[in-house]
A and B are shown apart, each in its own frame.
Chain A
Amino acid sequence: MKLPLAGQSRPWRSVEELQSPPAPSRELGPAEPPSRREVLQLLGASAALATMGGCLKPPDEKILPYTKQPPEVTPGNPLHYATCSTLDGRATGLLVTASEGRPTKVEGSPEHPSSKGGIGVLEQAQLLSLYDPQRLKVVQYKSELRSWRDFLATMIAKSRVLRDRRGEGLRFLMEPSSSPLIAHLRQRLLEVYPRARFSSWSAIPLQQIHDGAQLAFGSAYETRIDLSRAQAVASLDADFLSAMPGNARPMKDWAARRVPPNMARLYAVEAHLSVTGMNADHRLRLKPSQVHRFGLALLGRLVPRHAALAKRFSFSAEELRFADVLARDLQRAGAGAAVLVGARQPPVLHAAMHAINAALGSSVVSQAKPVLHEMDAGPRALRVLAEEMRRGAVDTLIMTAYNPVYGATSDINFAMALSQVNTSVYRTLYADETAERAGWVLPAAHPLESWGDARAHDGTISFQQPLIAPLYAGVSEAEMLAALFGEGDRTAYTQLREFWQARVPELGRFDLTWEKWIADGFIPGTAVKAESPAVNHDAVLAEAMKVPPAEKPGLEINVVADTKVLDGRFGNNGWLQELPDPVTKLTWENAALLSPATAAELGVEQGDLVDLTLRGPPARAPVVIAPGHADGAVTVAIGYGRRSDAETLCKGIGFDTSTLRHSDLPWFAPGLALVATGRKARLAQTQQHHSMEGRIIAVSAALPKLRETEEMLEEQRGAPLSFHRPWDYSKGYRWGMAIDLSRCTGCSSCVVACQAENNVPVVGKDRVWRSREMHWLRVDRYFLGEDAANPGVVFQPLMCVHCESAPCEYVCPVNATVHSDEGLNEMVYNRCVGTRYCSNNCPYKVRRFNFFSYTSEYSDQEKMAFNPDVTVRSRGVMEKCTYCVQRIERARIHSRVEGREIRDGEIQTACQQACPADAIVFGDLNDSGSRVSRLLSSERRYDLLHELGTRPRTGYLARVMNPNPELA
């Protein structure tokens, strides 16, 4: 997607900057000379055309009906299909809307037992990756275009040779997978090629969880979290509230436990401020190397057998007090207590966690047999494979793992190893760094256009069905592996169906069950049952004693998975690149996060470009001052600094962290050097001011003082004084929305849902820097309290609140924004002339303006992602949240045609539907029984900027914290 760069030169920022040399502004891609079309525009040729735009005759249109219309299709009405998508090997249940035969919206599947309707940002944004015109389109061999036939022929020849050598020199590097079909194919491959070896690789592996379980229980397990009965939870760097895959169910249960009066309590111990950290009642900032030592110290306090660990590690008095209070609270909570540990932490801490949870008899944490095929998907396995490749022991390498050349840590040097392999096959969505070095490169079929199966996070077997025929003749993983048996022509569907038919023969009429499974998207009752095996305390203690008491002093690196581009695979996805990071609000790049104290000590400021070196070449990164970050550490996110020419959106965006990661210490390591380069970078943050300046905006109250706060909120609700008699909305529907800030975790899943539903364009980094981003809904994040190092955090999703006496309406000169009879503030795009006075007069500043024509440069594929029910806005037009009026109108017409009223909950706005925590509720205020009416009559309810008399229809419920009196 070539972003429509306006080509204007550097703007004047301040008088000083005019004199100083211009900072190196990293424009997106090379600044090409203006194209012929732009020159024509600049000559005003199109200016004349533009002025004539208003009165040309309506263009001719065609109608293309079906020849044979499939029975279930009614052109004009969307259909919904259940499918799933796997991101770290495990599936999330999806419900995808198909309009006119193409997927236009990805939502969570409400019936799926594992996610119950919740959905993260990545699954929703996969829709945009499906239509990315820069996807790999054709099979290539060493960058020459070949056909699928050529690949099959070569594979048949190669398989004959390999069969003779019984699979000697055949290696597989798979994407972590839990698919029963793939497991079956792997078994058949091992039968045919006994000497072949399988290994899987992911930049964010679960390997350390499995090693920890191996250490504690003697065999590998995966942890299951059921927070519905949680009372006191301690998260040691476990970000279970962010919008990542697998967090949907924990977030839903946790949100239910955060509604007063009886609330759970969350402690967080981490190096960088994470989404879970923002939601914690108490937060302890520790250097990355100290987090697992703190866990072991906690183990020492909670389990008498491990008492020796309590005093072994050096902590400050305040940190020790935190540990003691935490230990007492966990013991008090008993079965409701839980200690959760992040996947980045070393195995010894996972083992310690199992010991603690077993000792506390926690009902929250349980273990389950792993669903993934490989336990070891981390750098350790990759280094072994790389050694073999370098020794030339590998003749044929089949790769489906994501981009190992880019993602592998620098000491493995996978690129050089790959060059020693005779025949390498790489299946990928984009021609990325690995594809440039691999032999055969096969275009992968996108999850939304391929058949497959997988197991969900709770083990439920889920099915993946295509919403559209493959756009670029992509091949699915099963088809590629089948090619090795010479069965390249058996499609994934036939393989899948025959595989499942074979497994359940006794069920008689298989096709009925098969239709039911595919319609539901999962097989009910196939979740892996949770168990709680015995903990081998001696092994845990032995391992814990091996941990040195203190780490070497000095700056430490803290590498995290990016909440938006995961490990780089979503780099070319506009929705995710432009999604503001839930914590730093940064878009379009990663940065070096530093605490205010460390930044002052190193003499760097926000936006400085610094060189980070750790046992390798330096990486140049911009600095972001992050309140709440641990001192003496620098946090960087993986997935940026991509170098592949095929993905222009993310080429040169952010910096590559692979030089800072080494296979022995992939996540955090001491000995980091930070050197300022004296040059400045331009950071595109959607929020530049982080304090509420003492204003009543996002109200946060401690549970004990909730009564007081509710009295204070008395004046923040109710009808304000006004000259004008309120309009009569008693007849018909009276739409309103309630947002419960206690339930909201600030994960921003709603922002992507809104962008997908309402065709909101992506504008690019330079325009986000100029604060022209187009999101209709944003999550504002404020810091509270005076302690800048470890502030409290509160966040507030803010969209148009549809004021009943709207300041934006009476200033519009052409009646382009008016009020509907049901209380919606209507924005009529075709009437707007773009004076922008409505945006100036909106006190919430939730209106967005099309400064350029953002969608006219979209290619045809990208336009397929548009929701046909929502007008695509032209240049010069204002737009804003419409309470998903297209869904309201469809429900109204549908209910009227059926001759009934609209039921409560029948209309769900896109943000409400995507919110894993059910924090957003939309409904009819005239129906006192509706969920939104009940919520808005709660004592915690308040209106934003109530004293302005705008009478908003969106009411907020104050956020309640549950601090521990001993620590408050």
Chain B
Amino acid sequence: MAESALQARRELDPLPLIEGRHDDGTLNKTLLDYVWQRPQPGWLTLFFIGMGGTGLLLAGIAVTLAKGIGMWGNNIPVAWAFGIINFVWWIGIGHAGTLISAILLLFQQKWRTSINRFAEAMTLFAVMQAGLFPVLHLGRPWFAYWLFPYPSTNSIWPQFKSPLMWDVFAVSTYFTTSLLFWYLGLIPDLASLRDASAKRSTRFIYGVFAIGWRGSARHWHHYKIAYLLLAGLATPLVLSVHTIVSWDFALSILPGWHTTIFPPYFVAGAVFSGFAMVLTLMVPARRFLKLKHVITLRHLEAMSKVMLLTGLIVAYGYLMEHFIAWYSGDEFESHVFFQTRARGPYRGIYYLMIFCNIVVPQSFWFPWARRNVFYLWIASVLINVGMWCERFVIVVTSLHQDFIPANWAMYYPTWVDFSLLFGTIAFFGTLFLLFLKYLPAVAATELKELRHELEHEWLEGAKR
């Protein structure tokens, strides 16, 4: 009776979290075994493309360090361009990981379980790309250590009223928190890999990283609370980090930058582009790694709903910026929003941003769009292109035409700018491929717990 009742219950559920009948054994096999397989040809080609791109990134970095920021397209007045755009874009993408693993844990959203490891890894690698730029875009990167408050022989301290100092603390705290949160969640899985692998050498490697975890009840007792606390701390942290990143612009006096809408609008934008990147990576990953049974349409649909929500907040952000510019009657503000952005030389990027960030997410109102995997992938790529354009519009258009018309000037990127942008994307991809290959993409421990819980819950339901 239990079997048929279980079956009946499943049809009633909207979309199952775990498809098909599974128990710990099958979960272990599907989630952990591919770690031992030899790398498939698909993975290898992608990996080598990634390594090529990383080479391009290293070339861009070497040229920038050797000759100077002049190799980029930056000039006066547009002193910030690709360097800061990429930084904000990557840190924005990173935030989705923490959102899924921390905020959804606090909201006890069950669908987070199978995608939280995946998203956290993406956070880590995105923050690594983001962390590259605050040092690389410095004029004298070899003095970057002055940004940290150490007692120096010239007895002078950093200046803590500057948003860039807050950035230094925010990004380093965020990276540390994400790393520790990710590793804590990974320890039980590493122990499973240590015990499940056949070859002694792989057992030794995973054994080292599992630092002797044996799943003792006394440890689980502290583990649950520690994991919950880290999630609890990571939630305000992720909101504060992107608020501080938005303060890099909001605390200036430039028209188009110093609007108070920036913090919520940037955080929503970050979550929006973060979910899009999760989707972009997840759709191909779930197909090649055969994880369709754990990352079901329910997860993709839930994510597209979140993207719809945050997309609307971003759209609201644009609307409010334009309204305040008009309402405030400040001639500099209205010039930036209604002349420079809409009709200036960079209007093409402005309209591309409008299309990708506002028009594309509206399609998620319709179930066929939320459930069509191929469409979701295309939409997620477009959204990330749109978010990059949004940062470009914010940074470059406000700088290249501001208060005094005599110093208005055009900005043109150079090959080094593009090599850094596509180089970081390739490096991000390489890291992600390594993660997919050598670590379980889905948190096997939490999934077994979820399966047990679902079944247990269902059995109670059936009994009553």
Residues of A within 8 A of B (CB): 6, 8-9, 11-15, 41-44, 46-47, 50-54, 687-695, 697, 767, 770-772, 778, 780-782, 796, 798, 807, 810-815, 831-837, 839-841, 843-845, 847-853, 874-878, 944-945, 948
Contacts of A51 in B (CB 8 A): 65, 141-142
CB distance from A689 to the nearest CB of B (A): 4
Q: Which of B5-13, B49-57, B173-181, B407-415 contacts A (4 or more CB under 8 A)?
A: B407-415
Is B404 in the interface zone, CB < 8 Å from A? yes
Pick the residue among A814, A839, A877 that contacts B159 (CB under 8 A): A814
| Contact of B369 with A by CB under 8 A | no
Say yes or no: B413 contacts A50, CB within 8 Å. Answer: no
14 A-B residue contacts at CB 8 Å?
Answer: A11-B73, A11-B412, A50-B66, A782-B405, A813-B147, A813-B165, A832-B140, A836-B80, A839-B77, A845-B403, A845-B404, A849-B69, A851-B68, A851-B75
Interface: B198 (CB within 8 A) = no
B residues neighboring A (CB under 8 Å)? 62-63, 65-71, 73-77, 79-80, 137-147, 156-159, 161-165, 168, 248, 251-254, 331-332, 335, 345, 348, 399, 401-410, 412-416, 418
On whether the beta carbons of B406 and A50 are closer than 8 Å, the reply is: no
Distance in Å: Cβ of A476 to nearest Cβ of chain B: 42
Docked-complex contact B139 and A12, CB < 8 angstroms: no
Is B405 a contact partner of A691 (Cβ separation < 8 A)?
yes
User: Among A692, A780, A814, A849, which residue has its beta carbon within 8 angstroms of that of B146?
Assistant: A814
Could you tell me if A688 and B138 are in contact, using CB atoms closer than 8 angstroms? no
- State A876–B135 Cα separation when bound (angstroms): 12
Chain B contacts of A772 at CB under 8 A? Answer: 70, 75-76
Output the least CB separation between B328 and chain A (Å). Answer: 12
Chain A: which residue is nearest B134 at the CB level? A835
**Interchain nearest-CB distance for A780 vs B (Å):** 3
17 additional A-B pairs beyond A687-B406, A810-B251, A843-B254, beta carbons within 8 Å, are A53-B142, A689-B406, A690-B405, A693-B335, A693-B405, A694-B331, A695-B405, A697-B405, A771-B410, A778-B406, A781-B406, A811-B163, A814-B159, A840-B80, A841-B252, A841-B254, A945-B403
Which chain B residues lie closer than 8 Å to A811 at the CB level? 162-164, 251-252
Within the complex, the shortest CB–CB distance from A608 to chain B, in Å, comes to: 18
CB distance from A587 to the nearest CB of B (A): 14
The CA of A818 and the CA of B343, in the complex, are separated in Å by 38
Shortest CB-to-CB span from B316 to chain A, Å, is 26
Q: Which of A689, A781, A813, A877 contacts B139 (CB 8 A)?
A: A877
Query: With A688-B408, A876-B68 known to touch, is A815 a contact of B159 (CB < 8 Å)?
Result: yes
Partner of A836, one of B62, B139, B345, B418: B139
Give Cα A810–Cα B160 distance, bound, in whole angstroms: 9
- Chain A residues within 8 Å of B251, by CB: 810-811
Q: How far is the CA of A890 from the CA of B402 in the complex (A)?
A: 37
| Cα(A189)–Cα(B66), bound, Å | 61
Report yes or no: B409 in contact with A688, Cβ–Cβ below 8 A: yes
CA distance A44 to B59 in the complex (A): 9
Among A12, A44, A844, A874, contact of B412 (Cβ-Cβ < 8 Å): A12
Q: Within 8 Å CB of B161, what residues of A?
A: 810
Chain B residues with CB below 8 A from A843, complex form: 253-254, 402-404
Name the distance in Å between B413's Cβ and chain A's nearest Cβ. Answer: 6
Are A814 and B76 within 8 A (Cβ)? no
Residue in B66, B138, B399 whose beta carbon sits within 8 Å of that of A834 in the complex = B138
Q: Which of B77, B79, B413 has the most CB of A within 10 A?
A: B79
- The CA of A948 and the CA of B145, in the complex, are separated in Å by 33
CA distance A12 to B147 in the complex (A): 33
B260 to chain A, nearest CB (A): 15
| Structural contact, B406 and A833, CB atoms closer than 8 A | no
The 7 closest A-B pairs by CB, nearest first: A834-B139, A876-B139, A851-B70, A780-B406, A771-B409, A836-B79, A47-B65
Q: Are A770 and B139 in contact (CB under 8 A)?
A: no
Which residues of chain A come closer than 8 Å to B66, judged between CB atoms? 41-42, 44, 46-47, 50
Among B76, B335, B410, B413, the most chain A Cβ lie within 10 Å of the Cβ of B76
The residue in chain B whose Cβ has the minimal distance to the Cβ of A948 is: B253
B413 near A12 with CB under 8 A, answer yes
Q: Which residues of the partner chain B approach A835 to less than 8 Å between Cβ atoms?
A: 137-139, 164
> Shortest Cβ distance from A445 into chain B, in angstroms?
38
- Per the bound structure, the CA–CA distance linking A687 and B405 in Å amounts to 9
Shortest CB-to-CB span from B344 to chain A, Å, is 11
- In Å, the complex CA distance between A853 and B140 comes to 11
CA distance A42 to B407 in the complex (A): 33
Chain A minimum-CB-distance residue to B405: A689
Evaluate contact between A50 and B142: CB separation under 8 angstroms. Answer: yes
Whether A812 contacts B69 in the complex (CB less than 8 A), given A8-B416, A849-B79, A875-B139, comes out as: no
Q: How far is it, in angstroms, between the C-alpha of A47 and the C-alpha of B161 when the chains are bound? A: 31
The answer to whether A697 touches B158, judged by C-beta atoms less than 8 angstroms apart, is no
A323 to B95, CA, bound (A): 73
Q: Which residues of B contact A50 (CB under 8 A)?
A: 65-66, 142
Query: Measured between alpha carbons, how far is A812 from B147 in the docked complex, in Å?
Result: 10
> Which residues of A are found within 8 Å of B71, using beta-carbon distances?
6, 8
CA distance A853 to B65 in the complex (A): 12
Contact A878 B139 (CB under 8 A): yes
Q: What residues of B have a CB within 8 angstroms of the CB of A850 in the complex?
A: 68, 139
**Chain B: which residue is nearest A697 at the CB level?**
B404
B253 touches A833 (CB 8 A): no
A535 CA / B401 CA spacing, docked (Å): 58
A845: chain B residues within 8 A (beta carbon) = 76-77, 402-404, 407
Give the distance in Å from the alpha carbon of A878 to the alpha carbon of B165 in the complex. 18
Contact A47 B76 (CB under 8 A): no
Residues from chain B with a CB closer than 8 A to the CB of A781 are 406
Shortest CB–CB separation between residue A881 and chain B, in angstroms? 14
Report B156 CB to chain A, min CB distance, Å: 6
CA distance A67 to B128 in the complex (A): 61
Candidates A782, A833, A841; contact of B143 at CB < 8 Å: A833
Please tell me which one of the listed residues B67, B73, B80 contacts residue A852 in the complex, with CB atoms under 8 A apart: B67
* A813-B168, A815-B158, A876-B140 as given contacts; A695 in contact with B80, CB under 8 Å: no
